[in-house]
Amino acid sequence: MKKEAIYTRQSIDKKDSVSIETQQAECEKLIKGEFTVYTDRGYSGKNTSRPALQHLLRDIQYGRISRVIVYRLDRISRNITDFYSLYEMMSENGCEFVSVSESFDTNGAMGRAMMGIIAVFAQMERETIQQRVTDNYYFRITDGRWAGGPAPIGYDNAKNEARQATLKANDDLAAVKRAFELYAGESAMSLTGVSRVLTQEGYLINGKNCWAGTLSRIFRNPVYAVADELLYTYYKGKQIHFLNDQTCWNGETSAAIVGKTKSKKRVKEEQYTIYLTNIKGIIDSSSFILVQERLSRNRSFGRANPANTKMKELSGLVKCAKCGYAVKMKSQYPTLSCDGRSRLHICDASFRGVRLEAIQKQVEEYCQAWLDDKCHRMAQDEEKQKMLKTRAASLETEIHRLVNLAAVNETFSTAAVKDVEMRQKELNEVNLKLSFETANSIVKDVFDQRQVAEHRLLYRDLSEENKKILCRELIEKILLFENGRVQVVTKERN
């Protein structure tokens, strides 16, 4: 025999919400026979993932319920799509639906029409509340207060004099500063290398050694960087959303990014929002940008270079000229094997007698030829750097002169503002070019500054790690023939 059902829900207990007891009492006034009460306490109505509701739906499907009574439509659902799915399921199982406070049921056409209209408004109310919470969140952080959540490494959550959320430096901040100094200052330094040096120098983070993964998260967080126009220009190029006007990026604070997802699905940078905090930056913007560019390049390099490879600097590059599949080293000895033959059985190429050292020698000749050619062009690059630095110094002098004139001449001050802004904008662009020139120079990252200055660029003197970087930058793939000859397929380069 079918029973009637009362469904009640209250997300949280507060003064202006109708209690579970009140909802049930009002619904009982319409009961005609035996009934069962289904109650979800502390659950939102934005979806149907509620234990009591799921129990009710199962009983409806089993034919145990003749009518569902609720105090108000939004008690059972605030989502129109979910609600109509529930209603269709009730109809298919001969179950009526009644809302007490809206005074309608599904027996008549008017009740069904009103139910659809109210469901629309219930969903609109939910979306309005959600948008209001989001807007309020972003409004609160426009004044610089810390957005909340776990404090970044080197800081603790705190309150400032105005009782706003902020960050307070702790002892780990010294390790953060030193890490940026090493990675930005030593062109050949890897994350693992930075970790090793920090450990040797006695720096700890949360009482533990500074691992490469932790350093990567530190380096990508703009909360450590000085938020000036140079940093603004950098993030502007990434199409990220800004909460503060460009004029506010004056270098007095740092910045923070909000809107990141905790899921594994990657979110595009334009879906993030960046805002100015009430925390001072400790890393200059040019160094921070240099670190970002180096991390980006090393990440691409790392994906193509498994750490356990035995092919050294040629890992992931050597391919069989006959089938195109990878050539790998089968054992601890330099015995080469075509993956298309050994694993897929689609190729008959044999590299018996071909030595890895012979391939490396041919690749060395190619890379050295490229480096020799690069030497001829480095003078032009150095001249370009010199011109940019000279222009930056000139602009700084002009800005300083205009500001001094404006300070002593009130009439001139208004006219000087535009001239200062124009020169400051050009100076920011020049500094950004200087940062990118430094970050994107593969030669300067592979060789130390003395070698670059003297144009003594010798491939054979490089470390294995730097050989990997150079090969990955220059070479698309290396085709290996059975007689040991190689064909280097280069990347398209500007």
Residue bearing the bigger pLDDT, 377 or 152? 152
pLDDT at 53 over 90: yes
DSSP assignments along 343-391, one per residue? TS-------TT--HHHHHHHHHHHHHHHHHHHHHHHHHHHHHHHHHHHH
C-alpha of 422 from chain center: 33
Distance CA 10, CA 21 (A): 10
What does the CA dihedral 85, 87, 90, 95 come to, rounded to 10 degrees? 180
- pLDDT value for 44: 84
Question: Two tokens at 459?
Answer: 């491939």
Of 66-70, 124-128, 413-417, 443-447, minimum mean pLDDT range? 443-447
Residue bearing the bigger pLDDT, 383 or 313? 313
- pLDDT value for 389: 87
pLDDT at 440 over 50: no
pLDDT at 78 over 60: yes
Distance CA 437, CA 384 (A): 10
The tens digit of pLDDT for each residue in 282-329 reads 999 989 998 888 887 665 444 444 443 567 788 889 999 999 888 988
Strands 486-490 and 475-480, bridge-based pairing = antiparallel
pLDDT at 155 over 90: yes
- pLDDT value for 21: 92
Compute the C-alpha angle 292/298/303, nearest 5°: 130
What's the average model confidence in pLDDT over 122-140?
63
State if pTM tops 0.85: no
Q: Tell me the angle at which helices 212-219 and 173-185 cross, rounded to the nearest 10 degrees.
A: 90
**Using an 8 Å Cβ cutoff, are 441 and 377 in contact?**
no
pLDDT at 5 over 80: yes
Q: State how far the alpha carbon of 359 is from the alpha carbons of 266, 391, 484, in Å.
A: 38, 46, 7
Which of 33-47, 327-341, 411-425 is most confident?
33-47
pLDDT classification of 13: cutoffs 50, 70, 90: low
Q: What is the mean pLDDT of the chain?
A: 80
Q: State how far the alpha carbon of 12 is from the alpha carbons of 71, 72, 169, in Å.
A: 16, 16, 37
Of 6-15, 118-127, 237-246, minimum mean pLDDT range? 118-127
Four-residue CA torsion sign, 328, 331, 336, 340: negative
- pLDDT value for 474: 85
What's the average model confidence in pLDDT over 113-138?
63
Which of 142-151, 155-164, 186-195 is most confident?
155-164
The tens digit of pLDDT for each residue in 211-245 reads 778 898 999 999 999 999 889 988 887 778 888 88
Compute the C-alpha angle 161/166/170, nearest 5°: 105
Of 25-39, 151-165, 295-309, 427-441, minimum mean pLDDT range? 295-309
The tens digit of pLDDT for each residue in 246-269 reads 889 999 999 998 875 444 444 455
Distance CA 418, CA 435 (A): 26
Cα maximum dimension of the chain: 98
The tens digit of pLDDT for each residue in 160-172 reads 888 888 999 999 9
Residue bearing the bigger pLDDT, 79 or 214? 214
Terminal-residue alpha carbon distance, the chain: 80
C-alpha of 2 from chain center: 54
- pLDDT value for 20: 92
- pLDDT value for 196: 85
